Structure 1
Amino acid sequence: MAVRSPAGPPPGARGTASVPLLVAGLVVAAACLVPLGYVVWSATDQPPGEAVDFLVRPRIGELLWNTTRLLVAGTLLSVALGVGAAWLVERTDVPGGRLWHGVMCAPLAVPAFVNGYAWVSTTHAVQSFPGAVLVMSLSYYPLVYLPTVAALRRLDPSLEEVAASLGHGPWTSFLRIVLPAISPAVLGGALLVGLHLLAEYGALQLLNYPTLTTAILQQYASAFNGPAATLLAGVLVVFCLLLLGLELALRGRRRRSRVGGGASRAATQVQLGRRAPAAAAGLGVLALLALAVPLVSLGRWLLRGASTSLDLGALATAAGTTVGLAVVGGAIATVAALPVAWLAVRHRGWLSTVIERFTYTASAMPGIVVGLALVTVSIRSVPALYQTVVLLLLGYVVLFLPRAVVSVRSTLELAPPVLDDVARSLGCSGPQATVRVTLPLVAPGLAASVALVSLAVSTELTATLLLSPTGTTTLATGFWQDASAVAYGAAAPYALTLVVLSVPATWLLGRMTLGRSA
């Protein structure tokens, strides 16, 4: 049974962190701060007066308003869709049962920019604020759905049974018992959605919805105004810091680890009765909007596009490059996330909190800003890294480390540190206790981290265009180059291959969330 820990730190969190662990966390945080340092350094090229005049322009106010309302509305809708779908699939007798779980995870395999173009090619009505909110939420709600399902799976069903015995109905029990217990997972997913909304470019450009990010890319591409663009990137960083502070305040400091797995039985399902068909229809509409529209649109491009030309050799090369970069990038990001998450969970304090929060800053900036920062630093400090796969992988880690940190931390929070103390009392050293006790407990979170980052790497666009070595083509860049040239039929094979290759990672994420009962 889940028990709230006392106010003091748990046994496993006593004492200070070891020097190697602290150094590893600081190195990871420092790498993530490189883009922020680049933004600050570039912004100083512009006199303060000119910077203020630029930021108070009416156009900047419009961009701020567009970004803010998209961030708020898109995050709220993604949370509503993700939590609602997770509760229906996991806690009710909705017709279709667990089959819906795979369907709800599947939109992760469709990149946001592919989803955006699919909707634009279907109807131009989505080129508006409501359309942008809808398309972005359909693309990113699985980032909330997956951790919510995982949290519901691990929640001790006896808590809900006690609430029912006290006369609470399913809705009251959900609001007063279930939702507070799964709030870390929901907040972590919402944070990822918010960061993605801040940094999204491709889909919003296709949807013709201007935000700070699209303006930054326009400054770089058309006006070649680096200082002005980095001023806008600085505003995005402020958004990121506010978002991180809000998530931290809502998360609180309550500990949720427990010894044992709770009641060894599945939770009692809520009987929907006559509402069951409506619930199934709701999930069906969500699946139709998130999956059927992009897949049908891609099929139309492939079959009817006059520009269709299938170069199997180029397609196979792009697919191999994409898979290799995705797997390696996911593994490196997960390894980098381990010391950060360990410090945040097992050695809580102001320094560990600062280290963890620093890892999120770069993910709120467009990939092109991160790419330019790494290019500038590599040329000035380590020229040998310029135009190498190493620099490209570093860019992926900096951009997508939050996905890994959220996955690893959410699992590590549920691994009781007292088990490490027991292992030490039985003669294990600290590293032995970690390897033999903690790592097996957090293995699902590590696998989910690799899958999440791999999905993000395979669909990354702007940083890949800038950092990849000459002649390197991924499925995402191949699709974008053809789509930008209005060669929609030629772009379709790249998009469809990208979706197909994303299916295994999406399936793995779905399996990981099912946990012990899968």
Structure 2
Amino acid sequence: MAVPAVATPAAPAARSVGGARPHPLVAAIVAVLVAATGIPIGYVLWGIVSVGWHRAYELVVRPRVADLLFNTVALVLVTVPLCVLIGVGVAWLVERTDLPGRALWRPLFVAPLAVPAFVNSYAWVGVVPSLHGLWAGVLVTTLSYFPFLYLPVAATLRRLDPAVEESARALGSNTFEVFFRVVLPQLRLAILGGGLLIALHLLAEYGAFAMVRFETFTVAIFQQFQVNFDGAAGSMLASVLVALCVLLLVAEAAARGPARFARIGSGAQRTATPIHLRHSVIPATLALTALAVLSIGVPLWTLLRWLWIGGTGVWDIGDITSSLSQTIGLAATAAVITTMLAYPVAWVAVRSSGFLARAVEGANYVTSSLPGIVTALALVTVAIQLARPLYQSMPLIVFAYVLLFMPRALINVRAGLAQVPPGLEEASRSLGASPAATFLRVTLRLTAPAAAAGASLVFVAVATELTATLLLAPTGTNTLAMRFWSLSSELDYAAAAPYALVLVVLAIPVTVILFRQSTKAAAL
């Protein structure tokens, strides 16, 4: 899980160490990674070409595709605005008003990120067994994903210069006019970034929608692969899904535009004077309490209820321990490898400039924005046709995790590397240290906290990943997510509850990291 980066005042560009030309080993690693990011897109294009344009057209214009397109687009068009409304509203109440208990509300509304969307869906189905369809999907995903808006918006609100709002009030604007004319325009980047992240999650999500029997492209592709996989039909469904992802990326970039929102200079750091809610404090408190109950209380209550119903018999310690160890082993391996590979990409992005640096970094973001089902199908196809020994192997699934979650490590490593003065590395080299020794003694030590944060984000993303894991995991692999999904699919909700609980506990550290990162970014 990751949140959009919060805009910070622009800093002078870092000087290149030894020029913009990277070490040959760094260049080779970056070249391989960039080539690898083209596999999912190449798979989709190859699928279109292999069936022919006429057949591809017939497969795309089917009524089945139209139904899936309607479901997916409707889901995005309803859920994203709801998340924006909730995220911005909650952030404004917590950061700009005298609402009681703000120190408690701030971390509380990050907590839903600790509950995977498919676990949240499982919880709501346990409460309302008849829950299904579009509005069920909207309910579950809104409650799961609104923190992706709340976090960056809250951080941005803490960074805004209160003098601008005070000037607007002094000129006669009331609270609502100040919000819509002054505050809301400055939140545009945070809202667009968070909205894009939520929309991409909606396109990629499988478990939450399968649980409430709501078919999107990802659900249909996975079910087709499991039951009666038709390569041509699956490729066409994947092509439409990829087109939607690209459309979202282009729309967000166009809406963001070239405008800059950073102030010239750091300004005076001071807290804005809280807006007095007066008689609105009770309705506001009740609204936030209801949101907390729906997003956090329902999943926790459902888990505890099923654990109580199942009793001690559902705690298969041997199987839980085995699943936990496999999950930790797989997630830790992927986190370490992904973070290590993020360093060469971050070095090129930070120490170089121009089109090449942007292309190298952007390739990873575009590929990771694609649903995991597309990446998994691409790797399955490549492995079967070109490298059969890799099919259902540990290296292949770790490779998939690298493609899917590289930006979670890259964002942090890049930020850490940008704060390392190039002069320190130059001084180390001038004293006779080799590039490897300089990296270990200087760069790695200074970027270690940022790298650890990135590795933590990748760790929990892998631990809770479902679609790619189900398709690519070697025979005999049973992660916590896989065991939970297997048992809940059999409607054995009590037996699935311990695995869901352990997943939530594993995600708690990342929730803390996200909250601390947003707080730290707001203080810059």
TM-score by length of 2: 0.84
Q: 2:188 aligns with which of 180, 183, 191?
A: 183
Structure 2 partner of 1:474: 479
Preserved contact between residue 201 and residue 366 of structure 1 (Cα < 8 Å): no
| Aligned-partner residue type, residue 44 of structure 1 | V
Deviation of 1:104 after TM superposition, in Å, equals: 0.5
Deviation of 1:204 after TM superposition, in Å, equals: 0.8
Query: In the superposition, relative to structure 1, how do residues 302 and 461 fare at CA in structure 2: closer, same or farther (>3 Å)?
Result: same
Q: Does 1:220 align with 2:225?
A: yes
Cα distance in 2 for residues equivalent to 1:365 and 1:348? 26
Preserved contact between residue 9 and residue 266 of structure 2 (Cα < 8 Å): no
| Aligned-partner residue type, residue 465 of structure 2 | E
The within-5 A match list for 1:64-79 is 64-79=69-84
Cα distance in 2 for residues equivalent to 1:248 and 1:40? 24
Structure 2 partner of 1:359: 364
Structure 2 partner of 1:18: 21
Preserved contact between residue 155 and residue 521 of structure 2 (Cα < 8 Å): no
Preserved contact between residue 308 and residue 489 of structure 1 (Cα < 8 Å): no
Structure 2 partner of 1:146: 151
Q: 2:295 aligns with which of 290, 293, 306?
A: 290
Query: In the superposition, relative to structure 1, how do residues 84 and 166 fare at CA in structure 2: closer, same or farther (>3 Å)?
Result: same
Cα distance in 2 for residues equivalent to 1:477 and 1:115? 16
| Aligned-partner residue type, residue 263 of structure 1 | A
Q: 2:52 aligns with which of 43, 47, 61?
A: 47
CA RMSD between the two structures = 3.8
Cα distance in 2 for residues equivalent to 1:450 and 1:152? 28
Query: In the superposition, relative to structure 1, how do residues 340 and 133 fare at CA in structure 2: closer, same or farther (>3 Å)?
Result: farther
Structure 2 partner of 1:310: 315
Preserved contact between residue 110 and residue 139 of structure 1 (Cα < 8 Å): yes
The within-5 A match list for 1:445-484 is 448-484=453-489
Preserved contact between residue 334 and residue 398 of structure 2 (Cα < 8 Å): yes
Cα distance in 1 for residues equivalent to 2:54 and 2:466? 35
Cα distance in 1 for residues equivalent to 2:185 and 2:452? 26
Cα distance in 1 for residues equivalent to 2:68 and 2:15? 44
Number of equivalent positions:
508
Structure 2 partner of 1:494: 499
SS in 1 for 2:281: helix
Q: 2:330 aligns with which of 322, 325, 328?
A: 325
Deviation of 1:82 after TM superposition, in Å, equals: 1.9
Query: In the superposition, relative to structure 1, how do residues 382 and 225 fare at CA in structure 2: closer, same or farther (>3 Å)?
Result: closer
Q: 1:184-228 CA deviation, whole Å, 9 max, x = no partner?
A: 333222221111111111111111111111111122122221221
Preserved contact between residue 345 and residue 412 of structure 1 (Cα < 8 Å): no
Structure 1 partner of 2:253: 248
Deviation of 1:77 after TM superposition, in Å, equals: 1.6
| Aligned-partner residue type, residue 459 of structure 2 | S
Deviation of 1:166 after TM superposition, in Å, equals: 4.2
Q: Does 1:372 align with 2:372?
A: no
Query: In the superposition, relative to structure 1, how do residues 72 and 281 fare at CA in structure 2: closer, same or farther (>3 Å)?
Result: same
Which stretch shows the higher mean deviation, 397-406 or 96-105? 397-406
The within-5 A match list for 1:170-209 is 170-209=175-214
Structure 2 partner of 1:229: 234
Q: Does 1:56 align with 2:33?
A: no
Query: In the superposition, relative to structure 1, how do residues 426 and 276 fare at CA in structure 2: closer, same or farther (>3 Å)?
Result: farther
Structure 2 partner of 1:389: 394
Which stretch shows the higher mean deviation, 76-85 or 366-375? 366-375
| Aligned-partner residue type, residue 471 of structure 1 | G
Deviation of 1:296 after TM superposition, in Å, equals: 1.6
Cα distance in 1 for residues equivalent to 2:208 and 2:471? 18
Preserved contact between residue 93 and residue 99 of structure 2 (Cα < 8 Å): yes
Query: In the superposition, relative to structure 1, how do residues 23 and 299 fare at CA in structure 2: closer, same or farther (>3 Å)?
Result: same
Cα distance in 2 for residues equivalent to 1:13 and 1:253? 24
Deviation of 1:502 after TM superposition, in Å, equals: 1.3
Q: 2:216 aligns with which of 190, 201, 211?
A: 211
Preserved contact between residue 392 and residue 467 of structure 1 (Cα < 8 Å): yes
SS in 2 for 1:44: helix
Preserved contact between residue 72 and residue 217 of structure 2 (Cα < 8 Å): yes
- Identity of paired residues, percent? 45
Preserved contact between residue 195 and residue 363 of structure 1 (Cα < 8 Å): no
Unmatched runs of 5 consecutive residues or more in structure 1: none
Preserved contact between residue 321 and residue 473 of structure 1 (Cα < 8 Å): yes
| Aligned-partner residue type, residue 38 of structure 1 | Y
Cα distance in 1 for residues equivalent to 2:225 and 2:131? 26
Preserved contact between residue 479 and residue 495 of structure 1 (Cα < 8 Å): yes
Structure 1 partner of 2:92: 87
Deviation of 1:365 after TM superposition, in Å, equals: 4.2
Query: In the superposition, relative to structure 1, how do residues 438 and 84 fare at CA in structure 2: closer, same or farther (>3 Å)?
Result: farther
